[in-house]
Amino acid sequence: SQQGEEDPQALSIQEGENATMNCSYKTSINNLQWYRQNSGRGLVHLILIRSNEREKHSGRLRVTLDTSKKSSSLLITASRAADTASYFCATPDRGTGRRALTFGSGTRLQVQP
Amino acid sequence: EAGVTQFPSHSVIEKGQTVTLRCDPISGHDNLYWYRRVMGKEIKFLLHFVKESKQDESGMPNNRFLAERTGGTYSTLKVQPAELEDSGVYFCASSLQGAETGELFFGEGSRLTVL
A100 and B33 within 8 Å at the Cβ level: the answer is: yes
- Among chain A residues, CA nearest to B54: A99
Q: Does A38 touch chain B (CB under 8 A)?
A: no
SS3 content of chain A, % helix, strand, coil (to 5): 5, 55, 40
pLDDT at A89: 94
Confidence of residue A4 (pLDDT cuts 50, 70, 90): low
Q: Which residues from chain A sit within 8 angstroms of residue B40, using beta carbons?
A: 105
Q: Which residues from chain B sit within 8 angstroms of residue A48, using beta carbons?
A: 102-103
Average pLDDT value for residue range B78-93: 97
Say how far apart CA B103 and CA A54 lie, in whole Å.
Answer: 19
pLDDT at B18: 98
Averaged pLDDT of chain B:
94
Q: Which residues from chain A sit within 8 angstroms of residue B100, using beta carbons?
A: 30-31, 92, 99
Confidence of residue A97 (pLDDT cuts 50, 70, 90): low
pLDDT at A1: 33
pLDDT at B32: 96
Q: Which residues from chain A sit within 8 angstroms of residue B56, using beta carbons?
A: 98-100
Q: Is the pLDDT of residue A7 over 90?
A: no
**Residue from A56, A101, A107 whose CB has the most chain B CBs within 10 Å, to mutate:** A101
Q: Is the pLDDT of residue A39 over 50?
A: yes
Q: What angle do CA B59, B61, B97 make, to 5 degrees?
A: 25
pLDDT per residue as tens digits for the range A51-81: 999 999 999 999 999 999 999 999 999 999 9
Averaged pLDDT of chain A:
90
Cis peptide before B25 (omega within 30 of 0): no
Within 53-92 of A, beta carbons closer than 8 Å to B belong to 88, 90, 92
A45 and B109 within 8 Å at the Cβ level: the answer is: no
Say how far apart CA B65 and CA A26 lie, in whole Å.
Answer: 29
Contact present, A108 and A86 (Cβ < 8 Å): yes
pLDDT at A2: 41
